[in-house]
Amino acid sequence: MKAIMTSTGNHLDSKLDSRFGRCEFFVVYDTESGSVEFIPNPNKDLKEGAGIASVELVASKNPDLIISGEFGPKIKNLLDSLQIQLVVIQDTERKIQNIINLLNH
């Protein structure tokens, strides 16, 4: 299974970014191979349409799961139609390493 998380930094001790479209980094984690990839978000400074542009970027990775602190209504509908499962974590103090550990349940 491939999961994408939003991160505030580019290392495993970074915290989860509570925004989806304007997060600092996307983290692509593959539960089978255990590989972790950090992708800087090119859309974080966009005034409009950051969410949709980020969905395009994320969808190109074919994830099964997206984990973030918040999803806007526009992209939520888009992700629903792409059949990607969403997970909302309200506790933004969580670290990426912690979420990866949870995913390896």
Partner 1 sequence: MSIELLFIIFVSDKCSIDIVSPKNKILRRVVNPPPVKGFKPYGPNPDLRISEPVTLFYEEYEAIRLCDYDGLNHELASIEMGISRPTFTRIYAGALQKLAVALVEGRQISIGGGQVYFDTQWYRCLGCGCHFNHPNKDQKVTHCPLCGHLHFSPIAENKSPIHLVEPGTGQRREQGVTDE
Q: What does the binding site for partner 1 look like in residue numbers (CB under 8 A)?
A: 65, 67, 70-74, 76-81, 83-91, 99, 102-103, 105
CB of 35 to partner 1, least distance (A): 19
Q: Considering beta carbons, is residue 57 or 78 the nearer one to partner 1?
A: 78
Pairing of strands 25-30, 2-7: antiparallel
Q: Considering beta carbons, is residue 40 or 80 the nearer one to partner 1?
A: 80
CB of 29 to partner 1, least distance (A): 12
Residue 99: what are its φ and ψ, rounded to 5°? Answer: -70, -40
Q: Give the tokens for residue 10.
A: 């580019």
d(CA 53, CA 75): 10
CB of 67 to partner 1, least distance (A): 7
